[in-house]
Structure 1
């Protein structure tokens, strides 16, 4: 498969931040929240997400008194650390070995105190930050991973182009040999340069599809099928199935 990935709000690359810049970044690989606006993030299969910060940049640049952080996952249950979920004491979340079921809405509630200097009166403030995280085989950084990833589609693409070049070279040499050494005993053979071509096939792996409505600035991306849809083959569209309640469904129950 050949594909190219774009991003809606956040660009993440395992080698660093992508080519576009967002106000959500000030350190490579860190993504800050925005009050009232979910931040969309696309993560490559089997790789780690960027570091999700339970705070906006404005708040990060100010003193925060007695902060507490509460993360909830796609199932709205409180997140706890495990082999795939890492939560720090400072409210940072990293999703490791990212797979289809990890896709969804991640929310963090930040609670902290403000203190009036004149009266020392304390006020508890709460802010909620939402992150929509999707798995995408071609999220930024996939090209840099091809050399060390056994399941990277770019390996297949590279091998196809390499095979094309070798076959083209074979026919070119064969035509030369037959013309100069056996032209009297075999029919003439001619090779037209650049006449051997390969055709790009646009498809997505099962459980993935393209959705311009949901991913408006990522219309060419193969993104994991959302709940209520599925994709059983290599088509580019996730089909509707109301009985599907998971991400990346490959069948309609």
Structure 2
């Protein structure tokens, strides 16, 4: 009765290969099993106990060798032609005889040989205009010979393909003003004028200013009575350059981070100048004026719904917004994929 065993070459799993002939017992897995059996037999004899064949060890070894490690691949959303090679680094520059490639796409995803995915003669899987629906586990089986006389070997590779996009950024500002009585028309007029100035400041930098909150409160001051204050919270977001070409815009003026930093500097200077004007003012303070030191700035990172950032799960793409894996979701523009055991798709936006 013939047996089969698996041959282990480096980190690759090759086989199964029939025992006998030139291959014989030279497979790495059989050598390990034989040594383990001899060692266990020797220990059992020394202890005068009944010898039990190490079948569990043999089973575990075979299961371990059959496991195909998954390789994580990150593909930029809407990238025109990313491709995956069905070959290992060790075999990439080695002559292979009669290689054959077979790709298996995730169930429900774009299968090979359709309008979105193609397989080349060399076995590369090419995506056309990659979208988030193409995320998933892709399996490639490579069969080949090193020599014409050698038995055919089979190598299986698994790739977990994740759609990702670059995060978007914004600055969030909060500021306070001494104001007229809450509900006064002067407060409304002042707010409108201030927003016009701020929008004009960042407009030339292709940034957008959005008012997030405007509230009037009565504030009890230390060793003083009540006073009225306006609380403003607004954000500044870079406007996309409108091009679909990746890295087409290389000028520094296209960099959203640089534009944001310039906008931040202009806004900070705007409030500093208000303090300087008040210090030089000889007349009494106006009814509405900026309260020195109340400007606060927070840098915020955004991912689109269905995406998140996790350096532990995705160490090769720690600053990317990676699509949420099955079992997680992100309902809003945050940076975390939340756990959801009933979510079975990539990029879930609800649980």
CA distance in 1, matches of 2:126, 2:291: 55
Q: Which has the higher contact order (CA 8 A, sep 6+)?
A: 1
CA distance in 2, matches of 1:108, 1:217: 22
Out of 241, 244, 247, the position equivalent to 2:343 is 244
Q: Helix, strand or coil: the match of 1:129?
A: strand
Out of 264, 267, 273, the position equivalent to 1:167 is 267
How many residues align? The count is 204
Contact 2:71 2:158 survives alignment (8 Å) = yes
Q: Helix, strand or coil: the match of 1:66?
A: strand
Q: 1:180-195, aligned counterparts within 5 Å? A: 183-185=281-283, 187=285
Residue of structure 1 in register with 2:333 after alignment: 234
Tell me: CA distance 1:77–1:160, structure 2 relative to 1, closer, same or farther (3 Å). Answer: closer
Tell me: CA distance 1:231–1:191, structure 2 relative to 1, closer, same or farther (3 Å). Answer: closer
Residue of structure 2 in register with 1:24 after alignment: none
Structure 1 residue 99 displacement after superposition: 2.3
CA distance in 2, matches of 1:68, 1:166: 61
Contact 1:164 1:196 survives alignment (8 Å) = no
| Residue 39 (str. 1) matches residue 102 (str. 2) | no
Q: 1:1-253, aligned counterparts within 5 Å? A: 36-48=68-80, 50-75=82-107, 79-115=111-147, 121=149, 123-138=151-166, 149=243, 159-175=259-275, 183-185=281-283, 187=285, 196-211=295-310, 214-215=313-314, 221-252=320-351
Contact 2:139 2:156 survives alignment (8 Å) = yes
CA RMSD of aligned residues (A): 3.9
The TM-score, its normalising length taken from structure 1, stands at 0.63
Q: Helix, strand or coil: the match of 1:39?
A: strand
CA distance in 1, matches of 2:130, 2:115: 11
- Uncovered stretches (5+) of structure 2, i.e. residues with no partner: 1-66, 168-239, 247-253
Higher strand share: 2
Structure 1 residue 185 displacement after superposition: 4.0
Q: Helix, strand or coil: the match of 1:68?
A: strand
Rg larger for = 2
CA distance in 2, matches of 1:47, 1:176: 50
CA distance in 2, matches of 1:221, 1:161: 21
Structure 1 residue 69 displacement after superposition: 1.0
Residues 189-223 of structure 1, C-alpha deviations (whole Å, 9 max, x = no match): 9997x985421235532112345664356566532
CA distance in 1, matches of 2:297, 2:336: 24
CA distance in 2, matches of 1:219, 1:238: 14
Structure 1 residue 127 displacement after superposition: 0.9
Higher helix share: 2
CA distance in 2, matches of 1:149, 1:49: 17
Contact 2:72 2:159 survives alignment (8 Å) = yes
